[in-house]
Chain A
Amino acid sequence: MNPEPDEFSRRSVTRVVPPVNPRKLAKVPFVELADGRLQGVVSSGSDIARVYVSSIVADSHEFSCSTNNNRPCGGLGSRPCKHLQSMVAEAVVQYGYARVVRFLRVEAPADGTATDIVHGLKGGPRRAQVAEVFTRFLRHLAYLEQPGTNEPLPDMQWFPAMGAR
């Protein structure tokens, strides 16, 4: 259905969150557009027990990358490291190029790629809150540990799957 704007506001059931695309999670298990940042967790190429926490602030484009133990990323100079680049690339797969550009408010060509977004970042490196993002990731993982339920959950009637392609 393609409701008119007016009709959109008069529906109980309508798609509000744009659909996300499936992607491989091994390299970047977590990425999100939240709290005014593009932020995520990137697996270390060498150490299976280590992850990097990367983030880019919308608007200012200040970026940061550290290990989950709060050690600064060795690859981070005045420009984004490979972790940040991977995170942007996976965000583009998951959310689509246009949505990431709009969220970060970055100047980039209309039909560009993740590289264009990285080039368009006008901020510099800045230490950020690692713990906050890492906690979001742990909370994300915790969803998979939660038991299911056989309750009817009548409120889910507002959330029909709307995914057929």
Chain B
Amino acid sequence: MQPAAIAPLLNEPPAGVTETVTLIGDFDEYLTQGFARPDARRADVLDGVVAGLAGTPLGRPVAEAVAKLTSGPIGFEQLSVLAGARAALWGAVHDALSAQADEAAGRRRPDWPDITVAHSADTPISAVTAARSWLNDLAVLGWNGLDHEVVSAVNQPVETLLASPEHRRLGLLLDGFAAELRACLPIATLERIPTRRWADLWTRAVLLASGHPAAEAGTVTGRFLPLGTEILEHGTVFQVRVHGLLETKDGPPIQVRASVAASKVDTILGPACWRLLSAHGVLLTALAEHRAVTLTDMPILPGGELLWDEDHAAIGDEADPFATARVRLAESVPAAVPPLERHPVALAHPVFLEGYKVGGDERHPVVFELGDVSLPVAVDRLPDSGPLNGKLVSGSAACIGLLRWDGEWLLQPLAVLAKRKGTAVHTGDWAKGPTDPKAQKAEAKAAESVNVLRERAGRLLRK
């Protein structure tokens, strides 16, 4: 990507983004105080949300939910309408930003196929009902009103949700969210509250607990060329998400992602986490050895998400991600974004950058200077399970990364070429174990932890 393609992004946000984000911020302030304490000033905030959505399909239900909120006991139904409204506001911001980035890169993103997915009308399992009532309590009390008892009430439902494949997603989200709330108690004494983040997590959880439609998978056959790996994790999960291009028989390559995740505990960390994914040998080999993967009838969701199944994958030839990024990325076609995932946090456009100067300022320790614009680099998003660190990013001449947005555009690095010698370092290089002797030692120690816990589990859980 040329500096000229990034410049328009960094100059000014698309029309309406600033206003919408301010409106969301007001709502989040409301949630921080809790819905149990309505007052005149705060009523204005909800009126603002109602006004912001007037004329949209959500306008009426939101107006009705707000009217009910201020006149009687608060129910999950109204909260889920409000969560839907907040998500819709972010959805509009997402779309504007995504279109801006696509336009700058000269890409045309297909629209989401008009598939109607039936909401399940089944009565939710009791753990979902319990999760709803927990989310209800959070909204009523506000972050400041939480204590150990309230937060712990989610433990039991989370356990049940995690054990059920179709509810795993909600379980994982609630587990990560609750761990944050727990770590921050008592919240009233916190110096600063992650207002937007917690409102985001609350909103997501409410929407998932309301009944989440699932898209149907198709299949693809072709050659998968990995570009880079992002690692996502909280205390009890480790997820590897590989961004890559899929070459099929005809047409330009398409942008796809493969994600695999394993359950873990907080004391398993660093490169040892890769061991938990050893069932995905083909994918890990492709990352560690920079190889392509031949896919045959691999399941794929309409949003470009491969449902990785090693029975449909065979390890292929060497495929340098930098060659892929340099030669094929520009012509590749991005995937449509599922309606429910339209939130700026999901923006992750793969980009290849070179010819930048590395600088830094007070707010951002590392920025890439591209001509007369500068792009902040999210060096805080580098995982400790791989070899890529801030120093390597600072000393780089070329970079594969993801274009992100969190109040401003950011670059999340996935791989760099060093200025000196041109050595390549990728976040996924240690997929089959660290290659650096010091890290190898630490990994072997950490792997012992996994064994100790497995041994304990064997002894105590199967009694």
Chain A interfacial positions (CB closer than 8 Å to B):
1-3, 5, 7-18, 20, 22-26, 29, 33-36, 48-49, 51, 68, 94, 137-165
Q: Is the CB of A158 within 8 A of B200?
A: yes
Q: Is the CB of A165 within 8 A of B389?
A: yes
Binds A, one of B64-72, B228-236, B284-292: B228-236
> Which residues of chain B (412-461) have a CB below 8 Å from chain A?
412, 442, 445-446, 448-450, 452-454, 456-457, 459-461
Count of interface residues, chain B, beta-carbon cutoff 8 Å: 102
In this complex, which of B241, B267, B382, B454 has the most chain A Cβ atoms within 10 angstroms of its Cβ? Answer: B267
Contacts of A154 in B (CB 8 A): 338, 340-341, 346
Which among A2, A12, A22, A151 is the interface contact of B269 at CB below 8 angstroms?
A22
Contacts of B262 in A (CB 8 A): 148
Complex alpha-carbon distance, A126 and B58, angstroms: 56
Q: Is the CB of B230 within 8 A of A22?
A: no
Complex alpha-carbon distance, A143 and B159, angstroms: 9
Q: Is the CB of B457 within 8 A of A142?
A: yes
Complex alpha-carbon distance, A140 and B380, angstroms: 28
Measured between C-beta atoms, what is the minimum distance from B438 to chain A in Å? 12
Q: Is the CB of A145 within 8 A of B193?
A: no
Q: Is the CB of B461 within 8 A of A145?
A: yes
Nearest CB in chain A to that of B377: its residue: A1
Q: Is the CB of B442 within 8 A of A29?
A: no
Nearest CB in chain A to that of B263: its residue: A146
Contacts of A144 in B (CB 8 A): 263-265, 450, 453-454, 457
Which among A145, A150, A158, A159 is the interface contact of B260 at CB below 8 angstroms?
A150
Q: Is the CB of B380 within 8 A of A15?
A: yes
Which among A20, A35, A143 is the interface contact of B263 at CB below 8 angstroms?
A143
Complex alpha-carbon distance, A85 and B379, angstroms: 38
Given known A-B contacts A14-B197, A161-B233, A94 and B267 have beta carbons under 8 A apart:
yes
Query: Is B390 among interface residues, defined by CB-CB distance under 8 A?
Result: yes
Q: Is the CB of A156 within 8 A of B239?
A: yes
As a 0/1 sequence over residues 307 to 349 of chain B, the CB contacts with chain A under 8 angstroms (1 = contact) are: 1110000000000000000000000000000101101111010
Chain B interfacial positions (CB closer than 8 Å to A):
25, 148, 152, 155, 159, 162-163, 165, 168-169, 172-173, 176, 179-180, 182-184, 191-197, 200-201, 204, 208, 230-237, 239, 241, 257-267, 269-270, 276-277, 279, 301, 303, 305, 307-309, 338, 340-341, 343-346, 348, 362-365, 376, 378-385, 388-390, 406-407, 412, 442, 445-446, 448-450, 452-454, 456-457, 459-461
| 30 residue pairs bridging A and B, Cβ less than 8 Å apart | A1-B378, A2-B365, A8-B192, A9-B194, A14-B194, A20-B267, A25-B267, A29-B452, A34-B182, A138-B460, A141-B453, A141-B456, A144-B454, A149-B165, A149-B168, A150-B308, A152-B303, A153-B259, A154-B338, A155-B172, A156-B237, A156-B241, A157-B343, A157-B346, A160-B230, A160-B383, A160-B412, A164-B379, A164-B382, A164-B388
Additional A-B contact list (6), CB under 8 Å, known A35-B152, A152-B301:
A2-B362, A9-B192, A12-B406, A149-B168, A157-B348, A163-B385
Q: Is the CB of B407 within 8 A of A7?
A: yes
Contacts of B258 in A (CB 8 A): 150
Complex alpha-carbon distance, A14 and B195, angstroms: 11
